[in-house]
Amino acid sequence: MSADNVNVRMFGMLQAFRKERGLPSVVTMQVPAEGITARELAVELGLPLDQIEGVFCNHTVYGLDRTIRPEDEVAFVPYGTPGPHRYFLGLYKAGKSSNPETE
């Protein structure tokens, strides 16, 4: 992987969303050295923002305001993760911070 790339994965319905369009659910994308937000990255990938509950960045969950930098490992997670797992993984908190309507 080049120093200005990130590996991006999509899970659950986001994976299905990409596959229905003939697109891969695992991609390597180029990002600027200063980084971009997970929201901007999701838009570049054509993902439905209202369906994303959180983003894992280097094995920690964040909201879509997280800055993604070169060499990060990224995974977008949709709403729908079973109840207790949402809390243990931090998705509940990430989903709240990703959606201004829930604050």
Give residue-wise pLDDT tens across range 64-96.
999 999 999 999 989 876 655 554 555 555 555
What is the pLDDT confidence band of residue 30, given thresholds at 50, 70 and 90?
very high
Asked whether the predicted pLDDT for residue 102 surpasses 50, the reply is: no
The whole-model pTM stands at 0.77
Q: Give the CATH superfamily of 5-102.
A: Beta-grasp domain (3.10.20.30)
E runs forming strands in 18-83: 26-30, 36-37, 52-57, 60-62, 67-68, 73-78
